[in-house]
Amino acid sequence: MGRLDGKVAVITGGGQGIGRTTAVMFAWEGARVVVADMRLEMARQTAQEVEGRGGEALALQTDVTDGEDVRRMVAATLERFGQVDVLVNNAGVFSVYSTETCPEEEWDRIFRVNVKGVFLCSRAVMGPMRERKTGAIINLSSLAAKTGGLSASPPYSASKAAVACYTWSLAKELAPHVRVNAVAPGIIDTEMTQNHPAELVARTPLGRKGRPQEVASAILFLASDESSFITGEIMNINGGLFMD
C-alpha cells in the first residue's frame, strides 16, 4: 500500500530538480500527479518518467505568476482527476544579486515567482480542498529564510522568509481541514546550486550537499496522513548547517 494512495497531487516546477523527484516519489507512493512547469517539455519528461514506472501523470504548461494559467492548472486537474488533495508549491527561482546591484525588475521577478506564485496556487486549490474538508499544502521555503542567505542573496532570502511567514498565515486560515507546512532545504544538489562555493558545502556538518530525494521524502511525509497533526511547521533539511 502506498502512502499517498487515492490522492491527487499538484507539483509546481515539477520539470526538474526537487519538483521532479517529488512527482516521481509521490506517484510511486500511489498518488496521481499533475506536473506543472512553465517549461512544458520538462514537465512532459517528468510525466513520462512517472508513466514509465506505472503511475498516472498529467503534464501542464503553467506559469505560477499568471493567475489565469494557475486557474487553468486547477481546472485541468479537476477535469482529469476530479479532486486535488495535495499542492506542492515548489516552483522557485534563485538570484545572485546584492542589494546594491539588484535591479528593481529582478527584485520583482523573484518575488513574483517565489511569493506571488505560492499565493496564486494556494488560493486556487483552497476552494476544492475546503469543499472536501481535506488537503495538504507544502511550500518550499529555504535555509536562506532563517539566515539571510549563505551566499548573501537578499532578494531570494527575503522572498523565502515571506514564504515561511505566509505558511503560518495560511495554516491558520485553512485550519482545521487543510494543513499547510513548508520545508527549508539547505544546499541541495540541483541545477540551482551548481555555482554555490565548495566552502559552503564543507561547512555542512553532514559533509555534503543534500539529495533531491532527501527533500522529497520530507515533502512526502508532510503530504501524507502520517503528519495529520502537523500544520504551520517549517522543517529544516540542511544536514545540520543551521539548527533552530
CB of 225 to ligand NAD, least distance (A): 24
Burial classification of residue 24, based on how many CB atoms lie within 10 Å of its CB (0-12 exposed, 13-18 middle, 19 or more buried):
buried
Q: 185 phi and psi, to 5 degrees?
A: -70, 150
Evaluate whether 167 touches 189 at the Cβ level (below 8 Å).
Answer: no
Among 11, 27, 42, 129, binds ligand NAD (CB under 6 A): 42
Site string for ligand NAD, 195-214 (x = CB under 6 A): --------------------
The answer to whether residue 156 is catalytic is yes
Is 39 a binding residue for ligand NAD by CB under 6 A? The answer is yes
- Is the distance from CB of 58 to CB of 47 less than 8 angstroms? yes
Which residue in the block uniquely carries the three cell numbers 497531487? 9
Q: Give the largest Cα separation in the chain, rounded.
A: 53
**Binder of ligand NAD out of 12, 45, 224, 236 (CB under 6 A):** 12
Is residue 152 within the footprint of ligand NAD (CB under 6 A)? no
Is residue 74 a contact partner of residue 124, using CB atoms and an 8 Å limit? yes
Measured distance CA(59)–CA(47) in Å, rounded:
6
Q: What single-letter DSSP state applies at residue 177?
A: T
Site string for ligand NAD, 99-138 (x = CB under 6 A): --------------x---x---------------------
Give the type of residue at 69: D
User: Which residue of the set 26, 81, 156, 166 is catalytic?
Assistant: 156
Among 78, 93, 152, 200, contact with ligand NAD (rule: CB under 6 A): 93
The residue from 190, 227, 231, 236 that contacts ligand NAD (CB under 6 A) is 190
Q: Using CB under 6 A as the criterion, which residues of the chain lie in contact with ligand NAD when the complex forms?
A: 12-13, 15-19, 37-39, 42, 62-65, 90-93, 113, 117, 140, 142, 185, 187-188, 190-193
List residues with catalytic annotation.
156
